[in-house]
Structures are given as C-alpha cells and as structure tokens.
Amino acid sequence: MLNYIWAGLIIISVVFALWQDGTDFKDHRFRNGEALTVQIDGLPPGYADQLDPDPVDVTVKIDPTDYLSFFDPTGTQGLAGDSEESANVQAELQAFFSQPLPATLLTTAGGRELQLAVPDALPAPLDVIYDATKNDNDLLPTYMDGWIQNDAHPSQATASIKFGHTGFVNVKVVTETMFKQAGNAVTFAIGLMGVIALWMGLMKIAEDAGLIAVFVKIVRPVLGPLFPQIPKDHPALGLIAVNLAANMLALGNAATPLGIKAMESLQELNKEKDTATDSMVMLLAMNTASVQLLPPVTLIAIMGLAATELFIPIFLVTLVSLGVAITSAKLLGKMKTFKKTDPMRPNNPNAQKGGDA
C-alpha cells in the first residue's frame, strides 16, 4: 500500500510540475529568444575592431525600467500594478540594479558572449534562469545579439543580450529530487542494515542465554493485560518490553530492529498471516505514541543542552498520546466489526495450522 501512496504522490508532483511549466511557457515568463538592452562599461581601446579579442573584464548596467518591461515580474506573479506588493518588487529591483554587475566579455564559436557574475539573491525570474543555465564557473552566460559602441565614450557600449533557453524547470526539480531521495534511501538502508544486524544478534544472544525469559516474568504484570493474546512466558512479551524501553530512551536506531524482532515474534503466534492481530495493533499504536523519557536525539542535536528544558512537556504529551493510543486500540478491538476479523478469535476458519510463520 505504501508503494501505491508514494507512486501517487510522485505522479501528482509530476503533473503539477508539468502544469506549472506549461503556464510559464504560455505566459512566456522567461522571454526565450528575446533580447534585453544593457549597457557595458570598461571596454579597452580598439576592442570593437579586434576579430578575435581576448576575454575582457567589464561591468554591465541594467536599467530597472527595462528589466520590468522585459520580464514583467509583477504581472507574472499576479500583482496589481498599483498594489503595495508591486511597489515593493519595483523598489527591490531599483536597489538591486543600482550597482553594475561584474562580467566577462569573450568571443566563442557562436559569437560574443557576456558572462555575468551575479550575487546570491537575484530578482525573479532571473534567479530561475541562473539556476537553469549557469556554467561550471557559476556565471550566468548571455549571448550578444548586437551592440553599438558609444563614440563619445569608447569604453561604453549599448548591447542586446539573450539569456539561455529556460524551460521545464519544475519537472527538472521534481526529477532531480526523486533521484536524490532514492539515493538517500539506499544509503539509509545500507546504514540501517548494520544496526539491525547488531541488535538482532544481541537479542538472539539474550534469548539463548535465558535473559529474555527472565525479563518476561518481570514485565508480565504490566504488559500482560495489554497483550492478553500472548501466551504466558512467551519471549514476544520480553521483546516488546525491550522495544518500548528503547523508544522511551529515544534510542531510535535500536528501537527499529527491536520492534521488527517483536513483530516477527508476534507473527509466529498469528493464525492468519495476512491480517494483523490485536497484539500487533497494540504494539504499533504504543510505538507510534511512545512515552519519551529523554529528548529525541534530533532535538538534542538542534538545541543542545537546552533540549532538557522540554523534558516535562515532552513527557506529558507523550504520556497522554500513549494513553489515547492504548485506549483506542482496546476499544476498537472490542467492536464487532473488528472482532470478527481478529486472527486469534476462537474457531477461526482461516487459521493456519499451528500458527507457524
């Protein structure tokens, strides 16, 4: 079922990304193929007469008014021209383009190219164009469609530049995220294998040494009423207790394999292998709402020692959630609808012989 859920979320994400990209194409948001007028300063003497000049460091001045009329960032964001939000966007553009951008002017096989060195924060939609077309040096390449040198100031020129083709931005983001998370899942799974092997091995040693049997006798008075379907002195009760203890102590890496081992032990008692028993449901509910005696490791990593200040709130909230989980599992288990599907019910016609795994 979980696979279907993930597949559905991925399909929805791709469809939404395609719809958003289609809207960008319809609105001509990135002005692919169109030229923006800019001013270049810092040209060396005689540069215009050179057929194959060396790269030159220059500065590029973009008029905020030209940028607004070219990209229309307020219109693409659905902002009214006289709204406060639109005024804020225009003010940000005025501030951003108040200083010229450093750039490199060079000649390539395709013609003259102007590579802009851009700051971290770019105005929309230039930020998207930069992320989609930036080169290996983190520069924004633009292609000169023509330029006119200023006769009065030979170091200056007015140029028309085109940005690289930008499209299917959202689909690319979704695709890259899917592959990245798939890689993270593999890395996590490999790391978890070692942890599971360690704790499973320790539990096997404890079981063979008789420690689990001793632990069962200790926890039976407390956990017995919550798991009445588990036979007396069955090791599943001890495994459940160890799993819950690991959860209470916020030992997430230990609690996962211990919970798997406890579920495997409960599955051995299950008379209908494709249906969860009341004990399985109770264990899952208690794991989901486990009492925390210590702040989670993630919280400690973020807050440091200050995480201990949250001990009482965390304890009270998890205590209430555990009570609600146990009560809900017990009440639902007594409902007729669920009782008739309980694998451990008497005279179950679907029971597998002996309840073996």
**68-86 pLDDT tens trace:** 888 886 655 555 556 677 7
CA dist 30 to 121, 164, 168, 200, Å?
18, 9, 11, 56
Statement to judge: residues 133 and 75 lie in one domain: yes
6 within domain boundaries: no
Domain count, the chain: 2
Statement to judge: residues 215 and 161 lie in one domain: no
Which residue range forms the structural domain that includes residue 334?
210-355
Residues 296, 298, 303, 304: is their CA dihedral positive or negative? positive
Answer yes or no: pTM beyond 0.75.
no
pLDDT band of residue 40 (cuts 50, 70, 90) is very high
pLDDT band of residue 15 (cuts 50, 70, 90) is very high
205 within domain boundaries: no
Report the pLDDT value the prediction gives residue 354, as an integer from 0 to 100: 47
312 within domain boundaries: yes
Statement to judge: residues 231 and 305 lie in one domain: yes
Statement to judge: residues 224 and 120 lie in one domain: no
Statement to judge: residues 217 and 275 lie in one domain: yes
Residue that finishes a domain, picked among 106, 131, 166: 166
12 within domain boundaries: no
Q: Which of 56-60, 117-121, 200-204, 307-311 has the highest mean pLDDT?
A: 56-60
Comparing 1-15, 80-94, 118-132, 154-168, the range with the smallest average pLDDT is: 80-94
| DSSP-derived 3-state class of residue 130 | helix
155 within domain boundaries: yes
Residue type, 355: G
272 within domain boundaries: yes
13 within domain boundaries: no
Taking the C-alpha atoms of residue 153 and residue 155, their distance in angstroms, rounded to an integer, is 5
11 within domain boundaries: no
Statement to judge: residues 122 and 244 lie in one domain: no
CB 104 within 8 A of CB 56: yes
Statement to judge: residues 351 and 215 lie in one domain: yes
> What is the mean predicted confidence (pLDDT) over 21-28?
90
Statement to judge: residues 223 and 305 lie in one domain: yes
Report the pLDDT value the prediction gives residue 46, as an integer from 0 to 100: 80
Taking the C-alpha atoms of residue 259 and residue 246, their distance in angstroms, rounded to an integer, is 9
- CB under 8 Å, gap of 24 or more: what pairs does 326-330 form? 326/226, 326/282, 326/285, 326/286, 328/285, 329/278, 329/281, 329/282, 329/285, 330/282
Statement to judge: residues 137 and 245 lie in one domain: no
Which of 127, 133, 92, 93 has the alpha carbon at shortest distance from 115? Answer: 133
pLDDT tens, residue by residue, 242-286? 888 877 776 666 777 888 888 888 998 888 888 888 999 999 998
CB 344 within 8 A of CB 277: yes
